[in-house]
Amino acid sequence: MRTFKINSMKRSIQICAVVFISLGLISCEHEMYDMEENEESLAMRNKGDYGPFEFPGTVFDIASAPDGSIFVGLNEGQSRSVQSIKNGKVSSIMKVNSTSDINGLAPIGAGNIFLSTAGADRALEGELYRVSRGNSRMVADLAAFEREFSPDALAGPQWKNQLCEGIDGFTPGPQNNPYKVAARSGNTAIVADAAGNTVLSATTNGNIDWLAILTPPVDETGEWIVRWDTEDETGESIPCYVQPVPTAVAIGPDGYIYVGELTGTMSDEDGTFPIGLSRVWKISPDANNVVCSQTDPSADCELLIDGLTSVIDLEISPDGLLYVVEFDKSSWFASLIPGIASGGVISSYDLSGNLVEEVASNLSFPSAIAFDKIGNLWVLENNDIGISDLKPTVRVLD
């Protein structure tokens, strides 16, 4: 599956059969809003202020702004915009001039956002923007980086042969989909490139490097799982592995970077659905150019949680727990075919990877979460890629 808008997630998702030239310092930038609410006024909101709010398009991410509002990345036809939910009202605060969908959102203090856009076949699209009220600019060409360097194929263990991309309607060669994004500082973003199987670090002056390469999931013998085989120009067989597909990234209070995987398609013989193969990795704050691997562990990239299914978002809660969003047991496949399933689960873990509790279950295609200023947990649901009459919905989780 490589689809997930799948047009967007697809690249994100190279999933299967399936990031700005800065003009000033963050401290010098203008507020996005004229005034901020205090915590007391937020707490006195009406119940209706917390949704549900429906959106007329495709939404892949939501994020919490410092003033207590919730940002929503809306893709409606050829229009891309950042919407704001505040005091029970939805308003458009920024149009984004991009030919591909808005994927991830990461507020940077007050009034500014990092925003990633979707990739395309042969890594022809996918960028990092910095946006603020009345202004947006592309600051890092993530697609160009993938086309030139393609780290999962050309660096580290070089585990992916680009010929293996010639399946599910894609062209052999580099592939990318900058999916979720986290703000490391006012001028540095961390991007989960789903189709690139990498975590990237990008700055507002256009510098990009790979922070980490994720390697394929392993079978019971500890070997990378093969999805299919192809051949090179000499006829030599090339194994094509199940892809890790990073779709979520969060930065903890300790500076560690947490990365979640969706996991790509299995072979027909192995059941297609990548059940229980998704993982969460914990990357050291000062690490760079590290390989996250079960077969060759690194001190800079720890396998924190395994046995998950289709992780689609991560978030650190105000009390320092790691919240993980998973699709249901039918994995991402449920978002492509109507009627087979629609559930999802949110669970919390401590930062050592121990399960604390299952926070919510039986959600409808959940694909993003965010904590607002007073600790409410917001969830984006109904991300079924337009296969039904469901509309993306954002609400506070009861």
Mean pLDDT by 10 residues, the chain (398 residues): 34 32 25 38 62 95 95 95 95 93 93 94 98 87 98 98 96 98 97 98 98 98 97 97 98 97 92 90 98 97 96 97 85 56 86 97 91 96 70 94
User: Which residue, 243, 227, 140, 255, is CA-closest to 194?
Assistant: 243
Cβ(283)–Cβ(259) below 8 Å: yes
pLDDT value for 178 = 98
Asked if residue 209 belongs to a domain, the reply is yes
Structure tokens at 375: 């600790």
Tokens read off for 254:
């300790």
In a domain, 111, yes or no: yes
Q: pLDDT tens for residues 280-320? A: 999 999 999 999 999 999 999 999 999 999 999 999 999 99
β-bridge partners, 261: 246
Task: Give a yes or no: residue 40 inside a domain.
Answer: no
For residue 389, the model assigns a pLDDT of 73
Nearest to 316 by CA among 254, 273, 365: 254
Written as one letter, the residue type at 198 is T
Torsion, CA 388, CA 389, CA 395, CA 398, rounded to 10: -70
Residues 398, 80: Cα–Cα separation, whole Å: 29
Residue 49 lies in a domain: no
Q: What is the DSSP letter of 397?
A: -
User: In DSSP terms, which residues pair with 238 in a beta bridge?
Assistant: 230
Q: So what's the pLDDT on residue 117?
A: 98
Q: Which residues of 21-52 are buried (b: 16+ CB within 10 A; e: fewer)?
A: ebeeebeebeebbeeebeeeebeebeeebbbe
How far apart, in whole angstroms, are the C-alpha atoms of residue 240 and residue 223? Answer: 13
- Amino acid at position 244, single letter: P
What pLDDT is attached to residue 358? Answer: 97
What is the extent of the structural domain holding 157?
A: 7-35+54-396
What pLDDT shows up at residue 327? 83
CA pair distance 41, 254, nearest whole angstrom: 30
What is the CATH classification number for the domain harbouring 86? 2.120.10.30
CA 11 to chain centre: 11
Question: Do the domain assignments include residue 267?
Answer: yes
Stated as kind and residue range, the H or E segment containing 9 is helix 7-12
Tell me what pLDDT residue 22 has. 24
Token pair 């562990």: residue: 297
220 belongs to a structural domain: yes
- For the chain, what is the domain count? 1
Which tokens sit at 25? 């310092």
**What is this structure's pTM?**
0.89
* pLDDT at site 13: 37
Residue 76 domain-assigned (yes or no): yes
| Residue 297 forms part of a structural domain | yes
236 contact partners, CB below 8 Å, separation of at least 6: none
